[in-house]
Structure 1
Amino acid sequence: MASKSHKNSTTTTTTATAASTMDVEKIFHMNGGVGQTSYYNNSSLQKKGSDKVKHVTLETIEQVYVSTNPRSLGIADLGCSSGPNTLSNIKEIVETVGKTSRHLLLPEPEFRVYLNDLPTNDFNAIFQALPDFYCDLKKERNHAGPSIYVAAYPGTFYGRIFPDNSLHFIYSSYSLHWLSKVPPGLYDAQGEPINKGSIYITERSPPEVSKAYVDQFNVDFSLFLRLRSEELIVGGKMVLIFLGRETPLHIDRGNSFFWELLTQSFSTLISQGDVEEKKLDSYDVHFYAPSKEDVEEAVKREGSFVLERLEMFEIEKEVGDINGGGMKMSYGRRVAMAVRAIQESMMTHHFGGAIVESLFEEYGRLVDQEMAKQEIQPITFGVVLRKI
């Protein structure tokens, strides 16, 4: 697929189905580096979300450590990306286990920390931050920090990543709402898109669209659970933080609302002649916000885990929000920068890079406009699973 948008009117089955056959594993990645549009400087909303359930994360790793008392503790962060959140989370986990071991008069374990994301992830940004990470831990221990071995394991978490029974604890923050691919059911037998004019499930979408997303989620999440069950020890646990929805209805005033605003932003560019309508018709996001029932049924059906906890929460809007780069901006602009840091690789591949600035400028404006009428926040799930 070309990296620039086409200006001719020729339509073929190959063009129509291009979005569904995009190799997500090769294309999809957060914006790397530490620049203005990087994920590093635009992931503070995700940080707020993980902080909301930090007590759950730390309670869970403490429980795993106390019940297993391993000499070598295996921890994996799935979908770690390249921002500051990853090492911040690992630091808190290490400190919690250290305090628990000292309280119980047990020798502190060594830590095997495995950072996972797709091969296109900017792992270099993480490893460049490791010296400061180690230094901070040692300062708090009078230069006698714990033994920590950090390694990168690139690859999709919809495949096997780690050896059998090598992990005690798995953590994943804001990653599992990303599907392994765009659902193939979004195209008819002739290869034509059935969700025309939309990039996600909307009120205009035919029923087959929501079914395609549900089917892909069930395949992906069941596979994810089975593979992780092979990598975790019995009694090992997972803390999974991902976007969801409040009701069984697929059209909610949460995550689908923000995708609808992005669709409207594309419509503005179409009206200005900057984007071909057919290019939008053949673009759908590989995203799904499951309901509580979706998650519960998938866990029960797969059978490797007990669902110990499922919490639902929102991230409150703050006035005068500042992104990770210290830039003061409106809430809409901040949301637009966060979505851009996540989606730019996919959109540039499909539409070309020329539209990115104007697209997300319009998106930020629409978010601010709608939030002035009513405050709508995406729903996040915090899930704890124990391997049986």
Structure 2
Amino acid sequence: MEVVQVLHMNGGVGDFSYSNNSLLQSKVISMMRPIVEEAINNLYCSSFLTTFTIADLGCSCGPNTLMVVSQVIKAVENVRGKLNKKPIEHQVLLNDLPGNDFNTIFKSLPKFLENLKLEIGGYVGPCLFNGVPGSFYGSLFPTKSVHFIHSSYSLHWMMDVPEGLEENKRNIYMADASPKSVLKAYYNQFQKDFSLFLKCRAEELVDGGCMILTLLGRSSQNPASKECSYIWELLALALNDLVAQGMIKKEKLESFHITKYMPSPTEIKIEVAKEGSFVIDSIKVSQVDWNVSNNNQFNKGISDVSSKGSGYNVAKYMRAVIEPILISHFGEEVMDELFIRYREIIAERMAEERTQFFNVTVSLTKPK
């Protein structure tokens, strides 16, 4: 499987599109807003820029892409206004893999800019947008051309399928039953990818520039812990059910692997120190419930109706994220049945226990 060719969210604005199933990612972006604002304030006050270049890596499509941009521009304009500085030019670089639905983003820009100016009030300098298709595990922008880099829920995706996963049969990701060699293979790939990412961004950021990265991660030191593997274990159960029904061949399942790594803060600190281009300003672990629409305190007596509805919501946003990869490997004809079964399994588990994603957010600065 060529990851670069098949890794993208469901485009368009349909029922299973990322645009309509990205509330979880929106919640995480909102949670990280204070960290973004603090980084922008420090960066602007240290240089009083006349042009501010923002890059959003793994921007995907839909409202979350421009939500990030809006936060950053508002933060810049807020501090600029307080200091009575002249309006500046904003350049926005939107990056994702070539299969991303950039057209949906570009179509929404006129309305977005109109609303942004109304929300900020007063005069806002030019806001120039560019789409930059390509892998962030390589060079994307000219040397020392970017002031601020943001990435949310993207960097946990790997550049390649790790080598040496042959013994991880029917486990589509790391699991308790996975051999130690499989855990090592995933970690080695993470080290290789993350180091390359840091090296490329160090070349593209100006001296004193900063990055804020939010990844799906974990607080545990165990890479196969439930904190990061549970959602994929349940998908593996659904896929195994389809194998039992004869809808998917066993060999197909045994050759399928989720190409992502959800690191701990310690693992991120180690790689940043080894690569050497950045200083960590802060690193934070946060949690968000699988069913982000349920803001009530967890109660083990969840009703059957509630859990079924929650399972449906979770399965839909997982489908928006992972369906293109699944289609490339298993074919489109089994998708509806797969996600019906996945929804049922998720609902069963959510009725019994609290289910959460763990996020790791790191704020980095490139020293002057």
Shorter-chain TM-score tier: over 0.9
Query: How far apart in 2 are the matches of 1:382 and 1:329?
Result: 31
Please point out which of 47, 52, 59 is paired with 1:80: 59
- 1:36 is matched with which residue? 15
Q: Deviations over 1:165-219 (max 9, x none)?
A: 0011000010000000111232xxxxxx221111000111111100000000000
- Structure 1 residues 50 and 166, CA, compared in 2 at 3 Å: closer, same or farther? same
Query: How far apart in 2 are the matches of 1:319 and 1:75?
Result: 28
Matched, 1:54 2:33: yes
Q: Name the aligned partner's letter for residue 342 of structure 2.
A: Y
Tell me, yes or no, if the aligned pair for 2:19 and 2:61 is still in contact at 8 Å: yes
Q: How many percent of aligned residue pairs carry the same amino acid? A: 40
TM-score by length of 2: 0.93
- 1:209 is matched with which residue? 182
Query: How far apart in 1 are the matches of 2:237 and 2:308?
Result: 22
- 1:233 is matched with which residue? 206
Q: Deviations over 1:33-63 (max 9, x none)?
A: 0000000001110111111111111211121
Tell me, yes or no, if the aligned pair for 1:254 and 1:379 is still in contact at 8 Å: yes
- 1:14 is matched with which residue? none
Tell me, yes or no, if the aligned pair for 1:321 and 1:330 is still in contact at 8 Å: no
* RMSD of aligned residue pairs (Cα, Å): 1.6
Q: Secondary structure at the match of 1:236?
A: strand
Q: Secondary structure at the match of 2:351?
A: helix
Tell me, yes or no, if the aligned pair for 2:190 and 2:261 is still in contact at 8 Å: yes
Tell me, yes or no, if the aligned pair for 1:184 and 1:212 is still in contact at 8 Å: yes
Please point out which of 266, 285, 292 is paired with 1:312: 285
Tell me, yes or no, if the aligned pair for 1:283 and 1:350 is still in contact at 8 Å: yes
Query: How far apart in 1 are the matches of 2:336 and 2:184?
Result: 33
- 1:152 is matched with which residue? 131
Please point out which of 103, 108, 130 is paired with 2:82: 103
For structure 1, the 5+ residue unaligned runs are 1-21, 187-192, 323-327
Q: Secondary structure at the match of 1:184?
A: coil
Tell me, yes or no, if the aligned pair for 1:319 and 1:331 is still in contact at 8 Å: no
Query: How far apart in 1 are the matches of 2:261 and 2:154?
Result: 11
Q: Secondary structure at the match of 1:74?
A: strand
- 1:272 is matched with which residue? 245
Query: How far apart in 1 are the matches of 2:12 and 2:330?
Result: 22
- 2:118 is matched with which residue? 139
Q: Secondary structure at the match of 1:68?
A: coil
Tell me, yes or no, if the aligned pair for 2:173 and 2:257 is still in contact at 8 Å: yes
Q: After TM superposition, list the pairs within 5 Å mapping 1:330-341 onto structure 2.
A: 330-341=309-320
Tell me, yes or no, if the aligned pair for 1:320 and 1:330 is still in contact at 8 Å: no
Tell me, yes or no, if the aligned pair for 2:290 and 2:357 is still in contact at 8 Å: no
Please point out which of 143, 147, 164 is paired with 1:168: 147
> Structure with the greater relative contact order (CA < 8 A, sep ≥ 6): 1 or 2?
1
Query: How far apart in 2 are the matches of 1:107 and 1:277?
Result: 64
Post-superposition offset of 1:148: 0.5
Matched, 1:288 2:261: yes
TM-score by length of 1: 0.89
Tell me, yes or no, if the aligned pair for 1:137 and 1:145 is still in contact at 8 Å: no
- Structure 1 residues 28 and 111, CA, compared in 2 at 3 Å: closer, same or farther? same
Q: Name the aligned partner's letter for residue 60 of structure 1.
A: A
Q: Deviations over 1:142-161 (max 9, x none)?
A: 57432110100000000100
Post-superposition offset of 1:308: 1.1
Query: How far apart in 2 are the matches of 1:24 and 1:179?
Result: 8
For structure 2, the 5+ residue unaligned runs are 296-306
Q: Name the aligned partner's letter for residue 38 of structure 2.
A: E
